[in-house]
Amino acid sequence: MTGFEASQAFLQWLEQERRASPLTVEAYGTDLAGFLGFLTDHLGSEPDMAALAALRPADFRAWLASMANDNAVNATRARHLSAVRSFFKYLARRHGVDNPSVKLVATPRGRRPLPRALPPDDARDVTTDIAELQDTAAMQARDTALFTLLYGCGLRIAEALSLNVRDAPGLGGDAPLRVIGKGSKERIVPVLPVVRAAIGAWLMRHPDRQPDSPLFLGARGKRLDPAVAQRTMRAYRRLNGLPEHATPHALRHSFATHLLAGGADLRSIQDLLGHASLSTTQRYTAVDEAQLMAVWRKAHPRA
């Protein structure tokens, strides 16, 4: 059996036994055709089952390198490698062609997209103007408190909506906010006076101020659903001409980006955001550099 014949049997198995969608089968077929075409050139002839079983890690890496030379990004190469791995699993189970080399090849890592923050004026406008989308004074106070908290403290939307009344910072003093983040890790976040005031105004209208009650309630009296906050922000950005990346999470990115631009050090921002690794926080330095270059290109007469 040739490699091409084996790939056709594999695609038929995907379609008939695994019930894969036609688009999935087509994508796998395209990926495998590219792989087998490379092997034909690389080995000097169309590979048969013995040739597939004898492939070394260097052969797979040469295939990935050839795609990189054709300007395939890491995400594309990772998808192709995943298809080839599935193909070899099928060969091992159905045809006894067990080649462990494909498992030894590292998956190309795609670049994580840079955080996309809002300009400071736009971020501040969200906190003051988004309440206008609500009809009642109570819901206006709630949304002002929520979005002021997101930008003022850099919380994830899930972290903010998991707070209870007992967690709300008081109007007086400077007690920080205790937040339970990813991995159930607790962190301490300082609270700006404007955030305290917004939350205090919402608590004055809160229908159930028992300590264990959710801090942010929906219209039906239950904990506010993140989808509601997302929908509110989506409506706001469309009314105000903001880009599509203007989401509740963009306020967290804005918090970090604006702190960095104001001179805050990365270690402090890492603690405030609750990042387990400093490398995650370092992505914001790339954002700051990109903004600096954009200003330079726009302003310098020789740029």
**So which residues are the catalytic ones?**
156, 182, 249, 252, 275, 284
How many Å apart are CA 164 and CA 210, to the nearest integer? 9
Is residue 155 within 8 Å of residue 252, measured between CB atoms? yes
DSSP state of 136: S
Q: Which tokens sit at 3?
A: 């490699």
The dihedral formed by the CA atoms of 296, 297, 301 and 303, expressed in degrees to the nearest 10: 120
Q: Which residues contact 106 (CB under 8 A, 6 or more apart)?
A: none
Is residue 51 within 8 Å of residue 39, measured between CB atoms? yes
CA distances from 222 to 99, 162, 213, 214, 218 (A): 54, 12, 9, 7, 6
How many Å apart are CA 168 and CA 160, to the nearest integer? 10
Helix axes 22-43, 3-16, angle to 10 degrees: 170
User: What are 189's strand-pairing partners?
Assistant: 177
Is residue 123 within 8 Å of residue 258, measured between CB atoms? yes
